Amino acid sequence: MKNKPSLQNAYDLKSPDDNIELYSVWAETYDNDFVEDMQYKLHFAVAEEFVLHGGNGLVLDVGAGTGALAQALLQRGNFSIEATDISKKMLEVAESKNIYDRSFLSDLTKEIPANNDFYDGVVSSGTFTHGHVGPRAIDELVRVTKPGGLITISVNEKHWIAFDFASEVEKLSQHTRNSILKKISIYGDKSTHEHKDDKAIILTIKV
Ligand SMILES: C[S@@+](CC[C@H](N)C(=O)[O-])C[C@H]1O[C@@H](n2cnc3c(N)ncnc32)[C@H](O)[C@@H]1O
């Protein structure tokens, strides 16, 4: 069954509609059978890097899912956080945690329904990966971020290479201050599943 929740099925998705279908089934159990059981830790790394580089203020969490990244951010400071995701069901779980000021649906392969220069920061974990969202969406993240603001997102390492995120970041460098890359493990040291050694690039862009 194609929409049976699993990391491999998530990686094999082909379109935004496939994402809506899979995550509508996964939403209720995602925190337990993915975040906990697979020792997912990308959200902590993105939160740390965002804080390290001075992220603050009103933050948009894109591909927010059930809110793991916002929870990690709020452990590290005071932020006002808004959530956006293509999956209504994932956002419903996030909303039940009362961690977001606001949440709204969007498809990151299209335009984000937000004004130019609106957010002090944009963050994302786990969404720029196989079968999900590619590098072209970064333009929109820059558009909605204020000059002087900060963007910190994770990109699965193999996805980074396959979709040439480096060229996109190079293009953006003409109208952003600078960008910083850091490679990290996606899962905890004690994880034993087949993706346990997968890595991600944490990309921070100073707008
Ligand atoms: C692996 S989950 C990550 C969720 C959360 N950020 C975390 O770290 O646990 C990927 C999320 O990306 C969302 N997503 C996938 N394609 C999307 C798109 N085109 N636009 C917006 N969100 C998308 C999914 O609905 C899902 O909630």
* Ligand 1 centroid from CA 29, angstroms: 15
Among protein residues, the one with the nearest Cα to ligand 1's atom 14 is 63
Helix (H, G, I), strand (E, B) or coil at 64: coil
159 close to ligand 1 (CB < 6 Angstrom): no
| Domains of the chain: residue spans and CATH | 7-206 (3.40.50.150)
Among protein residues, the one with the nearest Cα to ligand 1's atom 8 is 125
Among protein residues, the one with the nearest Cα to ligand 1's atom 16 is 132
Among protein residues, the one with the nearest Cα to ligand 1's atom 26 is 65
* Ligand 1 centroid from CA 133, angstroms: 8
Contacts of 192 (CB under 8 A, 6+ apart): none
Q: Does the pTM exceed 0.95?
A: yes
Contact 200, 186 (CB under 8 A): yes
What tens-digit pLDDT sequence spans the chain (207 residues)?
Answer: 467 899 989 999 999 999 999 999 999 999 999 999 999 999 999 999 999 999 999 999 999 999 999 999 999 999 999 999 999 999 999 999 999 999 999 999 999 999 999 999 999 999 999 999 999 999 999 999 999 999 999 999 999 999 999 999 999 999 899 999 999 999 999 999 999 999 999 999 999
Please classify residue 201 by burial: count the beta carbons closer than 10 Å to its beta carbon, then call 0-12 exposed, 13-18 middle and 19+ buried.
buried
